[in-house]
Amino acid sequence: MPWRWGWRHSFPFPAASRPSNSECVTPDFDLILAGGGLANGLIALRLAQLRPELRVAIVESGPSIGGDHTWSSFGLDINEEQRRWTQPLFAHRWDCYSVRFPRHHRTLDVGYGTSNSERLAAAVTAALPPGHIITNVPVVALSPTSVTLADQRVLHCNAVIDGRGQKKTDALDLRWQKFLGQEVELAEDHGLKGPIIMDATIPQADGYRFVYTLPYGPRHVLIEDTYYSDGRDMAPDLLRRHIADYAAQQGWTIRQVIREETGILPLAVGGSITKFLDEGVPGVARVGLAAGLFHPVTGYSFPDAVRMADMIAALPAFDAATIHRATRDHAMRVWNSRGMYRVLNRMLFLAAHDEERRTILERFYEHPDDLVGRLYAADLKLNDWRRIFSGRPPIPPLRAVGTVLKYGLGLK
């Protein structure tokens, strides 16, 4: 069954006892994290570890911290210290993973790990004092030093961080990784030694389609029907049938469905990070997807959220202006460093036709393990890009170059 724990703590001060805006306001907290998702959850954990003197609170509109999600990362995505402090969040780790394409199957000796909402919520609730996690109350307004809740409470603090996810925007040119996954129990052992990150041997539809599989136990596996698409629309019943069909093709009999998860992750083609950040509340720091911090090609957000948490915990001061400036500069620096990844996405989404999207990914997985690892870690070097764009082109060169030039001229 889906994980359903939740916490709801009453705020320790009655609303009537708080001063009006015209009086001198004593902050209720040093820092309020608006939104209890991955990015703010990691910030709360890292501050509890490195800055325990800070009074940190999280406000989440849902019933629990973290929702009901799975987050994964590759072995090279974060450094040793980051692996150490995030270790309690990981439910499963593997030493290798596989990919399957029509022309070749391959196993890469690169680590892979998965964390989940249940572990994040347990870690955050253990790290924060009673009364510092407020759930089931939406945030209706923010300022750099206050949060207004739907129940009319106004919480005051020295700084606010907005981690409530990415809103609809015209500032970024996005495509989507969308999926429906089922965590299932099988009648017999599946026989997998590690995850199958992409099984693209299946019929293609709605862009680039593949199945993603995580083996949690001998008969316990997560199967996701996944698409790299131009649009966000999904047909859940169809994806459920696809999962059942895929399991049958593997010789697996599904005994029961334990839980189900859906997701739509942004993939970046272009846009203006400055305009995107300007859409937020002036002076309020933004993190996670709200700051455009996700891998442009894979949509993974866990490594970026870990790095942002480290950066914030190392700040010399925790006033609103300092945090806002630091998070904005960090988000802009990360976005600007990933321009070539967005060029790769233009090839994938704008230049490629029909099944050529699968061919682009298939050719990429002909490269050595270390290059593949650097792409997932968003750490490709100039020579890596030369290797990626050299050799047999998966799409006609004139079309590829023309697409990139037209996009740069605003003729997309």
Nearest to 33, CA basis, from 183, 139, 127: 139
Q: Are residues 357 and 314 located together in one domain of the fold?
A: no
CA distances from 88 to 91, 259, 391 (A): 8, 22, 43
d(CA 82, CA 84): 5
Q: Are residues 139 and 200 located together in one domain of the fold?
A: no
At residue 285, the pLDDT reads: 98
Mark which of 269, 292, 324 sits at the end of a domain: 269
Residue 253: which CATH number? 3.30.70.1990
For 147-166, write each residue's pLDDT tens digit: 999 999 999 999 999 999 98
Burial (0-12, 13-18, 19+ Cβ within 10 Å), 122: middle
User: For the residues 46-72, what does the mean pLDDT come to?
Assistant: 96
Q: Which residues contact 366 (CB under 8 A, 6 or more apart)?
A: 104
d(CA 373, CA 74): 7
Q: Are 97 and 196 in contact (CB under 8 A)?
A: yes
Q: Residue 22: pLDDT above 70?
A: no
Mark which of 269, 290, 308 sits at the end of a domain: 269
At residue 2, the pLDDT reads: 37
What is the full DSSP assignment across 351-393? I--TTHHHHHHHHHTTS-HHHHHHHHTT---HHHHHHHTSSS-
Q: Residue 24: pLDDT above 80?
A: no
What percent of the chain has a predicted confidence (pLDDT) above 70?
94
Q: Are residues 265 and 276 located together in one domain of the fold?
A: no
User: For the residues 211-215, what does the mean pLDDT come to?
Assistant: 98
Residue with tokens 């099984």: 199
For residue 9, name the pLDDT band (cuts at 50, 70, 90): very low
Q: Residue 256: pLDDT above 70?
A: yes
Number of structural domains found in the chain = 3
Average pLDDT score, the chain: 92
Q: Are residues 258 and 188 located together in one domain of the fold?
A: yes
For 297-323, write each residue's pLDDT tens digit: 999 999 999 999 999 999 999 999 999
Which segments within 194-330 are labelled E, that is strand? 196-199, 208-217, 220-229, 254-271, 285-286
For residue 9, what is the DSSP state? Answer: -
Please report, as a single letter, which amino acid is at residue 328. Answer: R
Q: Residue 282: pLDDT above 50?
A: yes
- Is 106 domain-assigned? no
d(CA 56, CA 33): 7
- Is 107 domain-assigned? no
Q: Are residues 261 and 278 located together in one domain of the fold?
A: no
Q: Are residues 191 and 323 located together in one domain of the fold?
A: no
Residue 188's SS3 state is coil
Residue with tokens 């991955």: 38
Q: Are residues 123 and 216 located together in one domain of the fold?
A: no
Q: Are residues 79 and 155 located together in one domain of the fold?
A: yes
Q: Are residues 210 and 312 located together in one domain of the fold?
A: no
Kindly state the tokens that stand for 357.
């999207």
Which residue range(s) make up the domain with 307?
A: 15-93+112-168+272-337
- Is 299 domain-assigned? yes
CA angle 85, 91, 93 (to 5 degrees): 85
- Is 382 domain-assigned? yes
For 193-206, write each residue's pLDDT tens digit: 999 999 999 999 99
pTM for this prediction: 0.91
d(CA 336, CA 296): 11
At residue 411, the pLDDT reads: 74
- The neighbour count for residue 245, using CB atoms within 10 Å, is 14
Q: Residue 369: pLDDT above 60?
A: yes
For residue 1, name the pLDDT band (cuts at 50, 70, 90): very low
Residue 397, CB half-sphere, CA atoms under 13 Å: how many?
Answer: 5
At residue 3, the pLDDT reads: 34
Residue 46: which CATH number? 3.50.50.60
Q: Residue 373: pLDDT above 70?
A: yes
Q: Are residues 325 and 394 located together in one domain of the fold?
A: no
d(CA 194, CA 28): 47
Mark which of 282, 311, 337 sits at the end of a domain: 337
Lowest mean pLDDT segment, chosen from 4-8, 247-251, 304-308:
4-8
User: For the residues 339-353, what does the mean pLDDT come to?
Assistant: 95
